[in-house]
Amino acid sequence: MYSSPPTPSDTQAAYSDPPGCLRRFLIPVLAVLITSSLLVFGLSKIEIVQAESPALSAESDTTLRPGISPLFTPEVKYWENEIIAWSEEYQLDPNLVATVMQIESCGFLLAESGAGAKGLFQVMPYHFQEGENPFEPDTNAKRGLKYLRQAKEAGGSSRMALAGYNGGINGAAQPDDQWTDETTRYVYWGIRIYKDARNGLDHSARLDEWLAHGGASLCKKASESQKD
């Protein structure tokens, strides 16, 4: 709360001419009191501005927001609780995990590629141990996300994590112009979707583009399987 400004009589009384000895002690004391008041006033003003302007104190840091970004399709958000748990277990950003699930399977548990990749994270058979069910969600996440983390650690960035996940860690280490067309496309889709999610957007034009280029049919299968 701001104090009322002093009246002329108050000001005159405060600065009346005291005896010489007293004046030598009183003036420095008054200077300290005035300086302290100005500091308190300034700090109070800063606190009020911050309270009235949340933008000054709240950064758009999606790592502090619960859950995954709302821009992902409903079929991926269906797995949100599991994505959060897996992200904590394998030390990955939930939005990166959701991005990989989005472009790998759109949340379709029984997804299988022509090359033989299986499940939510489209893991190749040679990553599984004998007796493991590749379509069991936790097993598929364990094998897929451990490799994603290794790719991120090897490449040092989310972009290289995506490239390594699709093209192999050794393949991603090659110059970009030596990547396969598939890996180039994968990074094109993934990195923009991921950045939109990290930036707190509710919608991603790149995700729309992915859906229009065939992703919608995969999401349709996922949606039908999640209704059962």
Taking only the tens place, the pLDDT of each residue in 170-196 is 999 999 999 999 999 999 999 999 999
Strand partners for 112: 118
Nearest partner of 180 among 192, 193, 161, 163, judged by Cα: 163
Report the candidate in 139, 125, 145, 137 with the shortest Cα–Cα distance to residue 225.
Answer: 137
Asked if residue 37 lies in contact with residue 2, where contact means CB atoms within 8 angstroms, the answer is no
Question: Is 26 within the bounds of a domain?
Answer: yes
With respect to residue 84, please indicate whether it lies within any of the assigned structural domains: yes
CA angle 114, 116, 118 (to 5 degrees): 110
Domain of 28, in residue numbers: 8-57
Q: Are residues 42 and 66 in the same domain?
A: no
Distance CA 194, CA 166 (A): 15
Q: Over 90: is that where the pLDDT of 228 sits?
A: no
* CATH number of the domain where residue 126 is located: 1.10.530.10
CB 68 within 8 A of CB 197: yes
- Asked if residue 206 is part of any domain, the answer here is yes
- Which pLDDT band holds residue 24 (cuts at 50, 70, 90)? very low
46 and 22, same structural domain?
Answer: yes
The pLDDT tens digits for 105-132 are 999 999 999 999 999 999 999 999 999 9
Domain match, 67 and 180 both? yes
What is the rounded distance in angstroms from the CA atom of residue 139 to the CA atom of residue 198? 27
Per residue in 193-204, pLDDT tens? Answer: 999 999 999 999
Looking at residue 66, its pLDDT comes to 65
Do 17 and 97 share a domain, yes or no? no
At 67, the pLDDT band (50, 70, 90 cuts) reads confident
Residue 1 in any domain: the answer is no
The answer to whether residues 46 and 85 belong to one domain is no
Task: Give a yes or no: residue 2 inside a domain.
Answer: no
In a domain, residue 3? The reply is no
Please indicate, yes or no, whether residues 129 and 158 belong to a single structural domain of this protein.
yes
Domain identity same for 146 and 169: yes
Tell whether 84 and 188 lie within a shared domain. Answer: yes
pLDDT at 85 over 60: yes
Whether 151 and 199 share a structural domain: yes
What average pLDDT does the structure give for the chain?
A: 79
Q: Which residue from 82, 77, 114, 117 is spatially nearest to 99, judged by alpha carbons? A: 77
pLDDT at residue 163 is higher than 60: yes
Mean pLDDT of all residues in 31-51: 36
Whether 20 shows a pLDDT value over 90: the answer reads no
In DSSP notation, 192-218 reads HHHHHHHTT-S--HHHHHHIIIIIHHH
Q: State the pLDDT at residue 193.
A: 98
Rounded to whole angstroms, the Cα distance separating 52 from 172 reads: 48
Query: In this structure, are 66 and 164 located in the same domain?
Result: yes
The mean pLDDT of 74-89, rounded to a whole number, is 98
Asked whether residue 168 is domain-assigned, the answer is yes
What percentage of the chain reaches a pLDDT higher than 70? 71
Mean pLDDT of 85-102: 98
Number of structural domains found in the chain: 2
Q: What is the mean pLDDT of residues 70-76?
A: 98
Does residue 90 sit in the same domain as residue 169? yes
Q: Are residues 32 and 87 in the same domain?
A: no
Q: What residues does 142 pair with on adjacent strands?
A: none
